[in-house]
Structure 1
C-alpha cells in the first residue's frame, strides 16, 4: 500500500489555482524532498496531506485513508515553518497535553514527552517555557512535538531555516536516525542539505509537478562534478575536454564544473583528473560522482 497517493490533485482559492492536477505515489522509506520557488504550492500540498484543506478536484490518500481520518490519528504529523509553541506553558505541560489528545493516558503522555525531548537533547529544559529557549532550541522543541506518538509520516517545512550550522546538523542527524521508522517529507530551499538527507526529490512550480528525481539514480557513471580552489578556468576546461571519452565540460558556477563523459570509453577518469591537477598545480575542493541536485533540476 502506498504511503501517500495523489491522483490529479488540485486546489483553488477563488480564481487562483494553487495546485494543478498533481499525481504522486510515495512508498514509506527514505526522506523525500519537496522543492520549488515561493508560491509553487508546497504549503498547499502539505495542508491537503494534513487534512487542513479539502481538494477542489482529484483525490489524496495517506496509508489508504483520507487525510484527517480518525484512523490516521497519531500517524501523521506536520511542522509548519513558522510554528510556535504556547509561551505560557512549559514544554512538558504542553507536550503532555498533545499526547493526551492523541489518546495517551496522562502518565503515558508525560513519558512520551520526555522521550521526544530527549531525542533533541532538551530533556533537561522540559520544565522551561519556550520564551526562555534560544532560537535553535525552540526549533528543536517544535520538531520534538511533531514526533509525539511515533508517527509514520512527518511533514517538515523548512526545518533548519535560520539555524546555525551546529543546530542544523543536530536536526539532520535526527532525521537520518529516525528514517528507518518514519518517512519524512521535507520542504526546503536548501538544496545542499536535501542532497545529504533525501533520495527522491519532487519539484513543484506554479502548482504543477515538474520533476521527480532520484538522487541515487542521478549518481550515474556518466557525470562528475568537481569544485576547484585554484585553476585557470578556460585552460582547465580545454585540458579536461582533451581527455579521451569526454563529451563536454560545463562551468555551472564559479569554479564548479560538470563533466559529462562516456563510461565505456574512459574507466579511470578520476585517476586521469588527479594526474591533470598535479601536472598543472591545480587544487580542488570536492569531487562528486554524478551531478548536483541544483544542476539536475535547473540545467
Structure 2
C-alpha cells in the first residue's frame, strides 16, 4: 500500500493532483492507515496514468469518470468531444473570416457589415433559414415532404468560409429575418388554402422536375421543351386534379408569372454554395422560361414583385 506521496512519485504527478482526483472519486483509495491516511494499491498507478491521459485530451472530469466506470463509454465520450471540438473549430474559422471581412473594407462599409455578421450566431446555424421555409411552404404539407424541401433549399454554412461567403450568409440570414412570408399576398397561388390544390403532389413532382432541369442549367442551355418541362407541368396538373393540355399550360404560365418571388434568396444561396450545384430557384426559373417560350409568353413583362420574390 502506498501513501499519496509514494503514488505521486511512482507516476510523476504532484501530491496535489493525486489528492484532487481522489477527492472527486476518480481515484478511490484501497484502505486507510491507522492514522487515517489514504493508502493506494498498485492498480492505482495505471488508473492515475489513464486519468491524466484523458485529461490531457481535454476531457472534463465527469466524462473521465464515465470512461473509468462505464464499460464501452470511451467511444461515446470521444465521439461527443470530437463533435464539440468540430463545432468550436467551425466557429473559430467563421470568426477569422468575419474579422478579415471587417479588416478589408472601408469605414463606411464596416458599420453595415458589423451589423450583419453580428446577427449570425457562432458557429453559424440554419435554424432561421429552416423556419423561413416552414412558414413559406403551404400548410398541412406532409412532414417528409417538408423535410426534403428544407434540406434542398437551406444551404449549410461553409466549413472553411471565405470573407465573401461570411458576408453572403449574413445577408441571407438578414433576408429571411426581414420578410413576412405568412402574409397571404406573399404566398404563391398553389400555397393558398381553398384553391383545390394538393401541395404534396405538387412538391413531389417539382423535386423531380428540378433534378431533370439541373443538367441543362449546368450546360448553360436556355429553357426549352423536354422531359423536365413535361414533369414540371405535370406536377401542377396532377396537384390540381386536371390534365396537362395546351390550354392548361397557357393558364399555368400566366398564373406563375404573377406568383410572389424570392429571387434574392436563391441568388444568395448560389453565392454561398458555389456554381457547381444549381439551386431549386434557378431550376424553377429555367422551367418558367421554357414554359413561356412554349406558350408564347417569352418576352412578356415580368411580375412587378419579381425583384423581391421568387417561387
TM-score band (shorter)? under 0.3
Larger helix percent: 2
Larger strand percent: 1
Q: Please identify the structure whose Cα radius of gyration is greater.
A: 2
TM-score of the aligned structures, taking structure 1 as reference length = 0.24
TM-score of the aligned structures, taking structure 2 as reference length = 0.23
Q: Which has the higher contact order (CA 8 A, sep 6+)?
A: 1
